[in-house]
Amino acid sequence: MILGFHICMALIKSMKAYRNLRKKEAGRYISLSEKSISGLSRLSRLSNYGTTAQAQRYTYEKLAEQAREMLKSCDLIKTVIDGYQKQVDDMYPKLRFRPNRKYCRAAEIELRFSNAHASLQKVLDTLEKLNDEKKSAKKAIDGDPVALQERDVSSTTNSKVNKLRDIEKDIASENDKKAKEEAAYIEEAAKIVQEFQQSEEVRLNQIKQTLLKFIQAIHPSQYSTALLQNFEDLKSHVAHKQDPAKDVAQWAQIQGIQMPIPSETNVNNNITTVDNREN
């Protein structure tokens, strides 16, 4: 039964490891985005094109948003872990003054098995004692020539022979009791095992439900929806806001060269042309 505890703890350990990995990964994404934005802000005006720089910055910001959504899922995973840990603690409480754990119904099950086996064990002990007495009685007869002659006689007054026959009758009677007690024990043991199996089914179902909650936590609907919207916003921004032609014209103006800046209509036309090529 303690093996079940180790299986439960292995699941908790794996979920914690996954959460830590995701949390660490999200932190790295956020750090990378912040460094990228900081590096972008330090670029000189000669190499920092307007809408292109904005598109880059927006990309880094969206990547950071994605990472923050990952961090939210880490909180959900922790909730799943904490909930399952409580179930495991309830099912396998700590032993007093000892670091070990024990199944919550272990003592009850052991006692029921012991009680169920008690009557049978009493008969088995009696049979063992009678068989020892039978050996002694036979040995006593084997050492007595008179008793040996009377051994196979149907009726005799020889005390050694009669003692052996009484013991054999007692053994036969105890064997009848043994058969009945074994049947009773098997019936009761089957009930105990069935109840234990039901408890095991509860434990295994807890694992199943925890896995389902864990899967939902690492990819919840709101998380996936937010990520999808995040990427759609990013794609739309780069496609419709980044304008290379406008950046080049503005860069030329900074250098003192007057060039016409493309109108918004021309930009949209260029985007439509690109989109059509992609299709």
State which of 197, 230, 257 marks the end of a domain: 197
Question: Averaged over 234-255, what is the pLDDT?
Answer: 73
Say which amino acid occupies 187.
E
Question: Averaged over 118-139, what is the pLDDT?
Answer: 93
Domain for residue 202, yes or no? Answer: no
Q: Specify whether 111 is located in the same domain as 96.
A: no
pLDDT in tens, 200-240: 788 888 889 999 999 888 876 766 677 777 778 878 877 87
Domain for residue 63, yes or no? Answer: yes
Q: Specify whether 96 is located in the same domain as 222.
A: yes
pLDDT in tens, 163-194: 989 999 999 999 999 999 999 989 888 888 78
**Which pLDDT belongs to residue 106?**
66
CB of 31 closer than 8 Å to CB of 130? no
Q: Specify whether 179 is located in the same domain as 128.
A: yes
**Which pLDDT belongs to residue 183?**
92
Domain for residue 66, yes or no? Answer: yes
**Which pLDDT belongs to residue 93?**
80
Q: Specify whether 175 is located in the same domain as 130.
A: yes
Domain for residue 170, yes or no? Answer: yes
Domain for residue 186, yes or no? Answer: yes
Q: Specify whether 93 is located in the same domain as 121.
A: no
Distance between CA atoms of 44 and 48, rounded to whole angstroms? Answer: 6
Q: Specify whether 24 is located in the same domain as 86.
A: yes
Distance between CA atoms of 204 and 196, rounded to whole angstroms? Answer: 12
State which of 164, 197, 230 marks the end of a domain: 197
Structural domains of the chain, count: 2
Domain for residue 205, yes or no? Answer: no
| Residue 269: both structure tokens together | 């036309």
Asked whether the predicted pLDDT for residue 59 surpasses 60, the reply is yes
Instruction: Give burial (CB, 10 Å; 0-12/13-18/19+) of 135.
Output: exposed
Q: Specify whether 76 is located in the same domain as 123.
A: no
- Residue numbers of the domain that contains 122: 107-197
Q: Specify whether 90 is located in the same domain as 9.
A: yes
The model's confidence at residue 144, banded by pLDDT at 50, 70 and 90, is confident
**Which pLDDT belongs to residue 52?**
79
DSSP state at residue 94: B
**Which pLDDT belongs to residue 270?**
45
pLDDT over 70 percentage in the chain: 78
